[in-house]
Amino acid sequence: NAGVPLLALSTFERDHILVPDDLYTAALEALVSAQS
């Protein structure tokens, strides 16, 4: 819904979410708002 493209990368030990550098702030705000 936030319009931020991402790449989900899963490994055996960790999961990663990769976002473009210029959209880091928007991605972080979207993740924080999704927690509440």
Whether 9 and 18 have beta carbons less than 8 Å apart is answered as yes
Residue 10, φ and ψ in degrees, nearest 5: -110, 135
Prediction pTM value: 0.71
- pLDDT number for residue 26: 96
pLDDT at 1: 85
Tens-place pLDDT, residues 1-36? 889 999 999 999 999 999 999 999 999 999 999 998
